[in-house]
Amino acid sequence: MKIYNTLSKRKEDFVPLEEGKVKMYVCGPTVYNLIHIGNARPMIVFDTVRRYMEHKGYEVNFVSNFTDVDDKIIKQAIAEGVEASVISERYIAECKKDMQAMNVKPATTHPKATEEICGMLDMIGTLIEKDYAYVASDGTVYFRTRSFKDYGKLSHKNLDDLQGGNRSLLVSGEDQKEDPLDFVLWKPKKEGEPYWESPWCDGRPGWHIECSVMSRRYLGEEIDIHAGGEDLIFPHHENEIAQSEAANGKPFAKYWMHNGFLNIDNKKMSKSEGNFFTVRDIGQKYDLQVLRFFMLSAHYRSPLNFSAELMEAAGNGYDRIVTSVSNLNYLMENSASESMSGEERVLSDEAEGFVTQFDEAMDDDFNTADAISAIFELVKFANSNTKEARSKEFLQCLKDKIVTLSDICGLIVEKKQEILDKDIEALIEKRQAARKARNFQLADEIRNELLEKGIVLEDTREGVKWKRA
Ligand code: AMP
Ligand code: ZN
Ligand 1 atom, smallest distance to 231 CA: 12
139 CA to centre of ligand 2 in angstroms: 24
| Whether residue 70 has pLDDT greater than 60 | yes
Query: Which of helix, strand or coil describes residue 459?
Result: strand
Q: Which residues pair with 370 in a beta bridge?
A: none
Q: pLDDT value at position 274?
A: 81
Within-domain flag for 272: no
CA of 38 to the centre of ligand 1 (A): 6
Q: Which atom of ligand 1 is nearest to the CA of 260?
A: 21
User: Which range has the worst mean pLDDT, 251-265, 267-281, 336-350, 359-373?
Assistant: 267-281
pLDDT for 415: 79
102 Cβ contact partners less than 8 Å away, ≥ 6 residues apart: 40, 43, 44, 279, 288, 289, 291, 292, 410
Domain range enclosing 437 = 422-468
Asked if residue 307 belongs to a domain, the reply is yes
Checking if the pLDDT of 375 tops 70, the result is yes
Residues 398 and 435 reside in one and the same domain: no
- Ligand number, closest to the Cα atom of 229: 1
Q: How many residues does the chain have?
A: 469
CA 113 to chain CA centroid, Å, is 19
Section 175-188 average pLDDT: 93
Q: Are 365 and 11 in contact (CB under 8 A)?
A: yes
Report the 3 state secondary structure along 51-111.
Answer: HHHHHCCCEEEEEECEECCCHHHHHHHHHHCCCHHHHHHHHHHHHHHHHHHCCCCCCCECC
Evaluate the CA torsion angle 77, 143, 122, 248 in order and state its sign.
positive
Q: How far is the CA of 120 from the centre of ligand 2 (A)?
A: 13
User: Which DSSP state fits 250?
Assistant: S
Mean pLDDT score, 272-286: 93
What spacing in Å lies between the alpha carbon of 35 and ligand 1's midpoint? 9
When computed from its CA atoms, the radius of gyration of the chain, rounded to whole angstroms, is: 27
pLDDT of residue 167 exceeding 80, the answer is: no
- For residue 240, the CA-to-ligand 1 centroid distance in Å is 17
| Burial bucket for residue 334 (CB in 10 Å: 0-12, 13-18, 19+) | exposed
Q: Is residue 457 part of a domain?
A: yes
Whether residue 166 is predicted with pLDDT greater than 70 in this model: the reply is no
Q: Is the pLDDT of residue 69 over 80?
A: yes
Which one of the ligands is nearest to 236 CA?
Answer: 2
Look at residue 452 and tell me whether its pLDDT is greater than 60. Answer: yes
Q: Which residues pair with 229 in a beta bridge?
A: 259
Asked if residue 210 has pLDDT above 90, the reply is: yes
Q: If you average pLDDT over residues 272-289, what whole number do you get?
A: 93
Under a CB-based contact definition with an 8 Å cutoff, are residues 131 and 147 in contact?
Answer: yes
- Do both 363 and 458 map to the same domain? no
Please say if the pLDDT value at position 93 is more than 80: yes
> In angstroms, what is the span from residue 25 Cα to ligand 2's centroid?
8
Over range 202-207, report the average pLDDT. 96
How large is the average pLDDT for residues 99-107? 98
Q: What is the distance in A from the centroid of ligand 2 to the CA of 424?
A: 50
User: Are the beta carbons of 426 and 453 closer than 8 angstroms?
Assistant: no
- Same domain for 207 and 339? no
Pairwise CA distance, residues 222 & 225, whole Å: 9
Rounded to an integer, what distance in angstroms lies between the CA atom of residue 283 and that of residue 271?
18
Q: In sequence order, what are the beta bridge partners of 13?
A: 2
Which residues touch 10 (CB under 8 Å, ≥6 apart)? 4
145 neighbors 182 (Cβ within 8 angstroms): yes
Same domain, residue pair 150 and 234? yes
When pLDDT is cut at 50, 70 and 90, the band that residue 162 belongs to is: confident
pLDDT score at 157: 93
The distance in angstroms from the start CA to the end CA of the chain is: 44
> 148, 233 in Cβ contact below 8 A?
no
| Same domain, residue pair 331 and 379 | yes
**The pLDDT of residue 58 is above 70:** yes
Is 338:393 a contact under the CB 8 Å cutoff?
A: yes
Residues 325 and 463 in one domain: no
Mutate to test the pocket of ligand 1, among 30, 39, 266 (most ligand atoms within 8 A of CB): 39
Q: pLDDT tens digit string along 405-440?
A: 999 999 999 976 667 778 888 899 999 999 999 999
**Nearest CA residue ID for atom 9, ligand 1:** 229
Q: For 15-23, what is the mean pLDDT?
A: 98
% of the chain with per-residue pLDDT over 70: 97
Contacts of 150 (CB under 8 A, 6+ apart): 241, 242, 245
Mean per-residue pLDDT of the chain: 94
138 found inside a domain: yes
Of all protein residues, whose CA lies closest to atom 16 belonging to ligand 1?
Answer: 38
Residue 268 lies in a domain: no
Looking at residue 243, its pLDDT comes to 98
Q: What is the tally of structural domains in the chain? A: 3
271 CA distance to ligand 1 middle (Å): 14
Q: Same domain, yes or no, for 66 and 144?
A: yes
CATH number at residue 88: 3.40.50.620
Q: Helical H runs in 140-207?
A: 159-166
**Which residue's alpha carbon is at the smallest distance from atom 17 of ligand 1?**
38
Q: What does the alpha-carbon distance between residue 380 and residue 320 come to, in Å, rounded to a whole number?
A: 9
Q: Which atom of ligand 1 is nearest to the CA of 263?
A: 19
- Is 417 inside a domain boundary? no
Per-residue pLDDT at 169 exceeds 90: no
What is the model's pLDDT at position 173?
61
Ligand nearest to the CA of 208: 2
Instruction: Examine the domain organization and report whether 220 and 321 are in the same domain.
Output: no
Handedness of CA 441, 442, 446, 447 (dihedral sign): negative
Position 252 confidence tier, pLDDT thresholds 50, 70, 90: very high
Nearest to 321 by CA among 299, 348, 297, 352: 297
Average pLDDT, stretch 53-81?
Answer: 96
What ligand has the least distance to the C-alpha of 258?
1
Segment (H or E) for 257: strand 253-259
Q: Phi first, then psi: what are they for 227, rounded to 5°? A: -140, 165
Q: Is 170's pLDDT higher than 60?
A: no
The answer to whether 247 and 212 are in contact (CB under 8 A) is: yes
Tell which one of 46, 88, 231 to mutate to probe ligand 1, the residue whose CB is within 8 A of the most ligand atoms: 231
Q: What pLDDT sits at residue 164?
A: 60
Report CA 420 to chain centroid distance, whole Å: 34
pLDDT of residue 171: 54
CA distance 456 to 448: 9
User: What pLDDT score was predicted for residue 416?
Assistant: 67
Whether 389 maps to a domain, the answer reads yes
Q: Are the CB atoms for 265 and 275 separated by under 8 Å?
A: yes
Does any domain span residue 413?
A: no
Domain identity same for 398 and 431: no
Q: How far apart are CA 176 and CA 178, in angstroms?
A: 6
Residues 248 and 321 in one domain: no
Query: Any alpha helices (H) in 229-367, and if so which ranges?
Result: 238-248, 279-285, 288-296, 308-333, 342-363
145 in the same domain as 59: yes
Q: Which ligand is nearest to the CA of 70?
A: 1
Question: pLDDT at position 467, please?
Answer: 85
**pLDDT tens digits for range 71-89:** 999 999 999 999 999 999 9
Residues in contact with ligand 1 (CB, 6 Å cut-off): 27, 29-30, 38-39, 41-42, 228-229, 231-232, 259, 261-262, 269
Q: What is the mean pLDDT of residues 442-464?
A: 87
Assign residue 373 the CATH number of its domain: 1.10.730.10
Q: CA-CA distance, 286 to 318, in Å (whole number)? A: 12
Residue 258 confidence (pLDDT) above 90 = yes
pLDDT in tens, 454-468: 888 888 888 888 887
Residues 315-327: tens digit of each pLDDT: 999 999 999 999 9
The C-alpha atoms of residue 311 and residue 307 are separated, in whole angstroms, by 6
Q: Is the dihedral of CA 295, 298, 301, 307 positive or negative?
A: negative
Q: Are residues 137 and 88 in the same domain?
A: yes
